[in-house]
Amino acid sequence: MDYTKFEKARIIGARALQLSMGAPPVIELPAAIFEPSQIARLEFEKDVIPLVVYKS
């Protein structure tokens, strides 16, 4: 699904907040990555973010 840059930022931001509050990542992480925003971006790129988005 194609998202605007604003939708993409909102999705990644929401996931980064979840990760910063202790949610487990759903991907295998490289050793150098530990920031929630970077993890959320990787999950978005791999299309595995556990969020449901409804577009009208």
CATH for 5-45 (3.90.940.10, 3.40.50.150, 1.20.1540.10, 3.90.650.10): 3.90.940.10
Task: Select from 4, 5, 8, 6 the least CA-distant residue to 49.
Answer: 8
Q: pLDDT band for 1, please (50, 70, 90 cuts).
A: confident
Domain boundaries, the chain: 5-45
pTM attached to this predicted model:
0.89
Please give the distance of CA 56 from its chain centroid, rounded to a whole number.
21
Specify whether the CB–CB gap between 27 and 46 falls below 8 A: yes
| pLDDT tens digits, 21-55 | 999 999 999 899 999 999 999 999 999 998 888 87
Whether the pLDDT of residue 56 is over 80: the answer is no
| pLDDT tens digits, 2-22 | 889 999 999 999 999 999 999
Task: Select from 17, 21, 55, 54 the least CA-distant residue to 43.
Answer: 17
Distance CA 2, CA 38 (A): 20
